[in-house]
């Protein structure tokens, strides 16, 4: 046990921020070493999620911010912002008009930035809603 750290300091918000931070950091790193599947630069992470360089960097930054938030007292803020951004990304990703076609068999890039699959949308919505629930509901309940 570390000096000055007790089990009581690990709230649901802090735990979620750390878990999201670790998972997204790993996803960002793994995305960089996953081989490209086609000429559009898309990789299928675990055969489900479309990732590309933009998404790998975004995941890595999100993960590092989550880890930092867990250890600097900003876990509630992180969970709330993460929840809003990822829920919106998941929902907006379901709108075909937001995909700009590129070339070949490519279905286009979301907002001309990145490739997304239905797996990405579902995961973003679920994780976003979980972060929103913990960030807003559990914080109010604990007061």
Task: Give residue-wise pLDDT tens across range 7-27.
Answer: 558 899 999 999 999 999 998
Q: How many CB atoms lie within 10 A of CB 5?
A: 9
Q: What is the pLDDT of residue 48?
A: 61
Q: What is the pLDDT of residue 30?
A: 86
Instruction: Tell me the sheet residues that pair with 114.
Output: 110
User: For 123-140, what is the mean pLDDT?
Assistant: 90
Q: What is the pLDDT of residues 48-101, one digit of tens each?
A: 667 778 888 999 999 999 999 999 999 999 999 999 999 999 998 888 777 777
Total domain count for the chain? Answer: 1
Question: Which of the two residues, 143 and 135, has the higher pLDDT score?
Answer: 135
Question: Which of the two residues, 16 and 114, has the higher pLDDT score?
Answer: 16
Does 60 fall in a domain? yes
Q: What range does the domain containing 51 cover?
A: 10-142
pTM (global) more than 0.75: yes
Does 3 fall in a domain? no
Pairing, β 49-51 against β 99-100: unpaired
Q: What is the pLDDT of residue 44?
A: 59
Measured CA to CA, the distance from residue 26 to residue 16 in angstroms comes to 15
What's the pLDDT band for 37 if we cut at 50, 70, 90? low
Quote the tokens at residue 51.
């990732």
Quote the tokens at residue 124.
């973003």
Does 94 fall in a domain? yes
Check the CA dihedral 47-128-102-100 and report its sign: positive
Does 99 fall in a domain? yes
Does 119 fall in a domain? yes
User: For 112-131, what is the mean pLDDT?
Assistant: 85
Does 2 fall in a domain? no
């Amino acid at each position: 046990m570390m000096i000055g750290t007790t089990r009581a300091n690990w709230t649901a918000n802090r735990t979620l921020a750390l878990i999201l931070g670790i998972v997204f950091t790993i996803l960002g790193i793994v995305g960089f070493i996953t081989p490209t599947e086609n000429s559009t630069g898309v990789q299928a992470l675990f055969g489900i999620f479309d990732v590309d360089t933009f998404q790998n960097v975004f995941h890595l930054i999100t993960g590092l911010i989550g880890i930092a938030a867990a250890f600097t007292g900003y876990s509630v803020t992180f969970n709330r912002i993460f929840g809003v951004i990822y829920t919106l990304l998941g929902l907006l990703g379901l709108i075909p008009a937001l995909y700009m076609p590129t070339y070949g068999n490519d279905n286009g890039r979301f907002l001309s930035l990145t490739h997304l699959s239905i797996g990405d949308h579902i995961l973003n919505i679920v994780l976003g809603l979980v972060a929103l629930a913990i960030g807003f509901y559990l914080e109010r309940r604990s007061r």
